Amino acid sequence: MSAVFELLGDHPFFYGMSEEHLQLVVDCASPVDFEQGETIFHEGRAADACFLILEGDIALEIDPPGKGKHVIQTLHNGDILGWSWLFPPYRWTFDAQALSETRAIRFDASALRAAKEADPAFGYDLLTRFTEVLVRRMQAAR
């Protein structure tokens, strides 16, 4: 087993996922680093990934016209970043910016979408897990 497989298997978000499904996730994973102040994604642009934050802090922001940017939630170590890749038209709903140097695991959205289409049980499992993230983000935005 790889270190990424073990890391994800022990993480609360992925805990209890079958080894077969977890391997599908691992196959889509790559490490990524962000510098403090770096924009990770912008609202409205193509949602091509999601992330597991290993170290660091990321601000989710909205930019209502005429009101300036507003942080709706700050994500930390262990949090999942990004759910917009799951739903057409696959566009980011918020901006995301690194508040500190950040290490993360990036999951390729195209590969995850292909895997969930090929294996409906995997797709259901993934959707169930990401729905929790979606609900928390919507509550934070409110």
Which residues is 95 bridged to in the sheet?
Answer: 61
**pLDDT 10s digit of each residue in the chain, 142 long?**
688 889 899 999 999 999 999 999 999 999 999 999 999 999 999 999 999 999 999 999 988 788 888 898 899 999 999 989 999 999 998 899 999 999 999 999 999 999 999 999 999 999 999 888 777 767 766 6
Phi and psi, residue 77, nearest 5°: -50, 130
pTM beyond 0.75:
yes
- pLDDT reported for residue 137: 66
- pLDDT reported for residue 62: 86
Three-state SS at 80: strand
